[in-house]
Copies of this chain bind each other. A is one copy, B any other.
Amino acid sequence: MGIASRKEREKAEMRRLILDAAHDIFKENGYDGLNIRSIAERIEYSPATIYLYYKDKNEIFFALQYEAAAAKRDHLLPAASIEDPWMRLVEFGRLYVDFGLKHPDWYDLLFLTRAPMEHIENQDCWTLGMATHAFFVETVQACVDARYFKSTDSATIAYTLWCHAHGLVSLFVRERMRMYPPEERGELAKKSFAMMVKMAESL
């Protein structure tokens, strides 16, 4: 029992060690700088060893995505405690955009990476993301229930708001805003968010 459980613990520790290294490298050098050999070098093991703990690079990628999803959830958490559904929705949106602009690499990992989406539905990161998304949709539904909107199509409302926020962050993250001077971009994002809130009020 003792030895078996120690082995199990060591296995988990090693997986953690690998993931932490991957995490650090990703933060320092982005997705492109992250490769098996760089992880191996950092933890002072051979590249082959990585494969004894993770099936392939995708598995590490999914684990990283989970970290990002958890960070996003934590970032949005303060909004959850706001009583008024409309205020909660606005703050949720503000924090969503804030997360994207503050952590472009993580937002990228979560929403803009092409990577291995094949079976992402079965991954923890997807489950976690879904929970956050469900909370968002529920908040919109709460607004509908409280007659904050004329429209009652909460699904479309939620989706439309998400499209705007996601588009806003995506244009930032993938640097498609070069037609606007860098110093104006933040202001423009704020104005656009405010405009969207205003528009939603008269929805």
Segment with Cβ contacts to B, from A9-17, A50-58, A113-121: A113-121
Q: A157 near B195 (CB under 8 angstroms)?
A: yes
Segment with Cβ contacts to B, from A69-77, A81-89, A140-148, A173-181: A173-181
Given A113-B174, A151-B195, A164-B164, 13 additional A-B pairs, CB 8 A: A32-B114, A117-B174, A121-B178, A153-B191, A156-B191, A157-B195, A160-B192, A162-B171, A163-B171, A166-B167, A166-B170, A167-B167, A199-B203
CA distance A191 to B188 in the complex (A): 26
**Would you call A39 an interface residue if the criterion is a C-beta within 8 Å of the partner chain's C-beta atoms?**
no
**Would you call A196 an interface residue if the criterion is a C-beta within 8 Å of the partner chain's C-beta atoms?**
yes
Partner of A192, one of B32, B112, B163: B163
Q: B188 near A155 (CB under 8 angstroms)?
A: yes
**Would you call A19 an interface residue if the criterion is a C-beta within 8 Å of the partner chain's C-beta atoms?**
no
CA distance A162 to B117 in the complex (A): 26
The interface residues of chain B lying within 8 Å CB-to-CB of A155 are 188
What residue of chain B has the Cβ atom nearest to residue A130's Cβ? B179
Known: A130-B179, A151-B195, A202-B199. A163 touches B167 (CB 8 A): yes
- Min Cβ gap A44→B in Å is 30
Partner of A117, one of B121, B151, B171, B175: B175
**Would you call A133 an interface residue if the criterion is a C-beta within 8 Å of the partner chain's C-beta atoms?**
yes
